[in-house]
Amino acid sequence: MRKPKTDLDYIEIYAEKLKKDNRLFEQHRIFIESQLKASLSLFHNMFSESDFKKEARKYLKERLLIK
C-alpha cells in the first residue's frame, strides 16, 4: 500500500476500502443521521415559540454560517 501524500490520495484509499467493506458507509450514515436529528432538536427547542425559519436563519447569520 502506498503512503498517501495528498487529500485526494486519502479519498482514493477510503473509496477502495468502502468497495471492499461497505459497513463503513453504514456507520457514517448512522452518524450523520444522528447529528441531523440532534441539530433539528436543538433548533426546534431554541425557536419553538417563534417563527422557526426566520429565527434559525437569523441565528446562523449571526454566526456567519450562512449569508
- pTM over 0.75? The answer is no
> Using CA of residue 14, residue 16, residue 19, residue 23, what is the dihedral sign?
negative
- Please report whether residue 1 resides in a domain: no
pLDDT of 62 strictly over 80: yes
- Please report whether residue 56 resides in a domain: yes
Rounded Cα–Cα distance for residues 2 and 16 (Å)? 13
- Please report whether residue 2 resides in a domain: no
Q: What is the total count of domains within the chain?
A: 1
- Please report whether residue 57 resides in a domain: yes
Residues 52 and 44 sit within 8 Å (Cβ to Cβ): yes
Rounded Cα–Cα distance for residues 66 and 43 (Å)? 15
Range of the structural domain that residue 54 is part of: 7-62
- Please report whether residue 14 resides in a domain: yes
Rounded Cα–Cα distance for residues 62 and 67 (Å)? 9
- Please report whether residue 31 resides in a domain: yes
**Tens digits of residue pLDDT in 9-46:** 888 888 888 888 888 788 888 999 999 999 888 888 88
DSSP state of 22: T
